[in-house]
Amino acid sequence: MRPYLSTARRYRWLLAAILTLVCGAGIAAAFVEYTTTYESEATIWVLRAPAELIQRNPSDPTITSVQTVAVQQAELLEQLLRTKSFLRDVVQRTSLSGELAAATDEAKYLEQIRKRTRVEVLGTNLLMVSFAARDPRTPPELVNAVLAVRDERVTQARVADTAVVGALYQKDFEIAQGQALEAQRRLEEFDASHRSPLNTVDEHVQAQLRLALDFAQVRVSDLLGRIDQARLAPEILEMSGMEFQVVDQPREESSPSGGTRSAVALASVALVAGAALAALLILLATHISGTAGVRLSPAGQIAAVPRVVGGEAAADRAG
């Protein structure tokens, strides 16, 4: 340990310069990041997860994993943020639309927007969407745009799903209605061809025909109810505003608040890098000085370096 301490004292000014340059630059960058980054966030309350969100484990179908509604909605937003079309629609609704139009590489620009957008689950029914930028006006604009475009995409998906389900129910309704009309026609034909009083066999046949007609009419009524429910349920849920309710609206912050994490990361990297460089310098300097000492010390004890005499002096001694 003493050789390393001795080396550190010997090169203290060089070590101080390295630490000042590396750590100082990192701390300065962290300070700039912290003082120039503004963040705006929206806290959202969502309803409980429906039964279809209970997922099966592919490796073991008997094991179920319950996915909370906050996790489900957060995954939905994160998946939407990975698509260029969604990000493009979001940016075009903000003051950044001019920058997007002037960007030489649209994909790279949208990727930067995605990296600065954060979706975080706060609880079973609570999640947060935030965005960080260099000016205080852009974050609330972009968060509001994300929520607005998300609502439009979800509404479009609901309309498409409702149309598909409605078409299926409508087809089943037409088939059931045809069956009901056919059952009614058979009962009317039987009543027209059989005068009362009826015998036991005819009464049994008449009862079966009436029962078939009742079942067909019940089927028609049930399909009508399902069609109305498929059309009205999403609209009622959307009108209530409870499925996806913004509890805390995004605000324009007057002071920097979004660069804490990145600033801490920059400062930590700078400190670790400076300490690593200083330690590496001490190790190399100690190793080099130690190796040089081992090689030179025995040389003076084993033999002396002979003196080389010039040609004229040698000739004089010989004469």
pLDDT at 282 over 50: yes
Of 311 and 186, the one with more pLDDT = 186
Report how far Cα 189 is from the mean position of its chain's Cα atoms.
66
What average pLDDT does this structure show over 232-258? 67
In the chain, the amino acid numbered 304 is A
CATH number attached to the domain at 38-258: 3.30.1890
Q: Which residues are CB-neighbours of 209 under 8 A, at least 6 positions away?
A: 183, 186, 187, 190
Instruction: Identify the pLDDT of residue 90.
Output: 92
| Average pLDDT across the chain, whole number | 74
Instruction: Identify the pLDDT of residue 266.
Output: 63
Q: What percent of the chain has pLDDT over 90?
A: 8
241: left (phi over 0), alpha (psi -120 to 50) or beta: left
Instruction: Note if the pTM is more than 0.85.
Output: no
Instruction: Identify the pLDDT of residue 53.
Output: 42
What average pLDDT does this structure show over 13-18? 76
pLDDT at 317 over 80: no
Going through 196-273 in order, the beta strands assigned E by DSSP cover: 244-248
Long-range contacts of 151-158 (CB under 8 A, 24+ apart): 151/244, 153/80, 153/86, 154/244, 155/238, 158/234, 158/238
The domain ranges of the chain are 1-37+259-290, 38-258
What tokens does 244 get? 């996806």
Q: What is the full DSSP assignment across 9-52?
A: HHTHHHHHHHHHHHHHHHHHHHHHHHHS-EEEEEEEEEPPPPGG
Q: How far apart are CA 173 and CA 244, in angstroms?
A: 33
Instruction: Identify the pLDDT of residue 86.
Output: 92
Helix count (H) and strand count (E) of the chain?
Answer: 10, 6
CB 16, CB 291: distance < 8 Å? no
Q: What is the full DSSP assignment across 283-303?
A: HHHHHHHHHHHHHHHHHHHH-
pLDDT at 302 over 60: no
In the chain, the amino acid numbered 104 is T
Q: What is the pLDDT of residues 121-178, one digit of tens each?
A: 988 889 999 888 888 888 899 999 999 898 888 877 777 766 676 777 778 878 888 8
Instruction: Identify the pLDDT of residue 142.
Output: 92
Q: What is the pLDDT of residues 22-77, one digit of tens each?
A: 777 777 766 666 666 777 888 888 875 444 444 444 454 444 455 678 888 888 88
Q: What is the pLDDT of residues 139-153, one digit of tens each?
A: 899 999 999 898 888
Instruction: Identify the pLDDT of residue 249.
Output: 87
